[in-house]
Amino acid sequence: MEAIVAEDLSKSFNGLKAVDRVSFSVHEGEIFGFLGPNGAGKTTTVRILTGVIEPDSGKASVLGFDVVKEKLKAREKIGVVPEAANAYPDLSVWKNMMLTAALYGIERKKAEAKADELLRVFGISERKDSRVKTLSKGMKQRLMLSMALVSDPELLFLDEPTSGLDVASARIIREKIMELSREGRTIFLTSHNMEEVSMLCDRVGIINHGRIVAVERPGDLRDRIGGSLAVEVEFDRKVDLTGFPDVKARGNRYVLYTTDAHDTICSIVDFASRNGLRITGLNLHAPSLEDVFLKLTGGESDA
């Protein structure tokens, strides 16, 4: 059985298509990365899948339950860390854990044991009586993960779990995600960090302007333009390189995908001298996942 099946999901806000006929499926036990620039529709998709909002059209199921009609049954088996969500700031870490456990219908004794364990694993045990508003951002995020795990869910939704965290906090969370996956849980993770996704995920779905552009393994994604090379060039001023095939702007720099580096570099030099440009930087490399991402999303990432 697939853990998540989305079929033709669409959702508009005031005429803007936030999610546009999105279809994909997530296999049981995999870490599925949902990657896209700001405003691509990642959070909207997560909200539809967790039953927080309803799609305008299309349907989806989570662990075999319809996300609209069998919302509650699906929610019993999933854990969610919403983007930018908060625990109750005036309640202690412990009270927040107990509240979540009660809402999942977990018996008190079991809940206490589980909460103890989770807070220890996430290294926030010694803060369990502190009010949440006194925690650092990294600690809050670890608490959000602990809350999502209190019901021992089969499937986890993590909406940008590491965004805004420092390197150390982000690493703790990534390690934990891998461990959760080894325990056999399915994980749906959104991110706009290419490296994070390629490190963690079994498969990646790329979304841009509400549409799925590709769903592949990180390695296959790279292979998609794998035969080619990326030539990165920087000029002393902004130019129009639209005459070249397969080019993506990236701020002041341009990335040209090619199979023949020699020809491309010669034509760049030629272009520069014809237009009186100075080349201020030139790089040749195999395309990174980020290049793939930029190529697929049309180079509008601010990542």
Partner 1 sequence: MLRKIWAITKKNILMYYLKGPVLIFGVLFPLFLFLAFYIGRSLSAAFLIPGLLAMTLFFTSTSVSPVIMPWETQMKTLERLISCPITVRTMIFGDILASFIFGIIISIVPVVIGMVMGVGVKAPLTLGAAIIIGAFAFSSLGLLFSTIPTDLVSNVMMLSNLVKFPLIFISGIFIPISDLPDWGVAVASLSPLTYFTDIARFSIEGYAFYPLYLDFLLLIASAVLFLVLAVKLHERTLVRRF
Using H for helix, E for strand and C for coil, what is the string for 64-83? CEECCCCHHHHHHHEEEECC
The answer to whether 16 contacts partner 1 (rule: CB under 8 A) is: no
The answer to whether 49 contacts partner 1 (rule: CB under 8 A) is: no
Burial of 252 (0-12, 13-18, 19+ CB in 10 A): middle
List the x/- string, 41-70, binding to ligand ATP by CB under 6 A. Answer: xxxx--------------------------
Single-letter amino acid code for the residue at 256: L
Among 27, 57, 64, 89, binds partner 1 (CB under 8 A): 89
The answer to whether 57 contacts partner 1 (rule: CB under 8 A) is: no
In angstroms, give the least distance from the CB of 102 to partner 1.
4
The answer to whether 192 contacts ligand ATP (rule: CB under 6 A) is: yes
CB of 26 closer than 8 Å to CB of 3:
yes
The answer to whether 250 contacts partner 1 (rule: CB under 8 A) is: no
Give 134's contacts (C-beta < 8 A, 6+ positions apart): none
Segment 187-246, which members bind partner 1 (CB under 8 A)? none
Instruction: Report the b/e string of 23-60 with b at 16+ CB within 10 A.
Output: ebbbeebbbbbbbbbeebbbbbbbbbbbbebebeebeb
The answer to whether 191 contacts ligand ATP (rule: CB under 6 A) is: no
Q: Which two tokens stand for residue 286?
A: 């195999």
Binding residues (CB under 5 A) for Mg ion: these are 42-43, 83
Binding residues (CB under 8 A) for partner 1: these are 47, 50-54, 72-73, 75-76, 78, 80, 82, 84-91, 95, 99-100, 102-105, 144, 147
